[in-house]
Amino acid sequence: MTLKMKFLGYKTEKIRPLNDARAIESGANFLSEAFIFSVAASVIVAESWRSHTTAKNRRNHVDDALENLENKTQTLTELLEETRHLYKANEERLRQIEEDNIQLRKLLDEVL
């Protein structure tokens, strides 16, 4: 280390030892700041996780609702097609009944 410092041109400095009171104060400050930092980091991580989970649940809910609407639309489309088919069949029956009615009236008119 000293070789590196001499090579880079740094001067060696003498580090004075701390007295006990100052060392305890510095250690306490470090521990309190580390605790505050860890609590803040935990809150940020928890909020991020909660936000992600909420967004995921919302997406799942929207996807389920969309799938439900698509199923209902498909069911209603099938029902509409069936209703159209039945309507056409009923129109055909009505036309046939009207033709039979006309023939029966003609036959009744001939008999009377």
pTM for the model: 0.53
The residue extents of the domains of the chain are 26-111
Structure-block tokens of residue 6: 């001499």
- Summarize pLDDT for 43-72 with one digit per residue, the tens: 999 999 999 999 999 999 999 999 999 999
52 contacts 45 by C-beta, under 8 angstroms: no
Question: For residues 104 and 93, what is the distance between their CA atoms, to the nearest angstrom?
Answer: 16
Q: Please give the mean pLDDT across all residues of the chain.
A: 92
